[in-house]
């Protein structure tokens, strides 16, 4: 979640812009701009954890101007796992 004062919160983490960073106006991201096929990975920084690296192949579909649905597959330990998420922007 992002706020106007430059604070971003994700799970148990909270991040704030540096005092000297450039000020930018808020721009809403349209869900139709997020729609499409996405590929990515989440890598562990420590060598012993490399087998836990996750790869994902998903497709996002805009439901309306504030919501999208994401479905596809992810892979961890070479096991294919289905994933389905409905999110708001």
Claim: this prediction has a pTM higher than 0.85: no
SS3 content of the chain, % helix, strand, coil (to 5): 10, 50, 40
Query: Could you tell me which residues come within 8 angstroms of residue 20 by beta carbon, excluding any fewer than 6 positions away?
Result: none
Q: What is the structure's pLDDT at 87?
A: 57
CA dist list (Å): 81 to 60, 70, 77:
17, 14, 10
Q: pLDDT 10s digit of each residue in the chain, 89 long?
A: 566 666 776 655 667 777 777 777 777 888 888 889 988 888 777 888 877 788 888 888 888 888 888 888 888 776 666 666 555 54
């Amino acid at each position: 979640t992002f706020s106007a004062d430059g604070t971003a919160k994700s799970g148990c983490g909270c991040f704030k812009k540096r005092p000297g960073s450039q000020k930018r106006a808020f721009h809403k991201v349209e869900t139709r701009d997020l729609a499409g096929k996405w590929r990515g990975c989440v890598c562990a920084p420590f060598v012993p954890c490399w087998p836990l690296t996750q790869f994902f192949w998903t497709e996002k579909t805009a439901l309306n101007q504030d919501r999208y649905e994401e479905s596809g597959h992810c892979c961890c330990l070479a096991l294919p796992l289905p994933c389905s998420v409905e999110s708001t922007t």
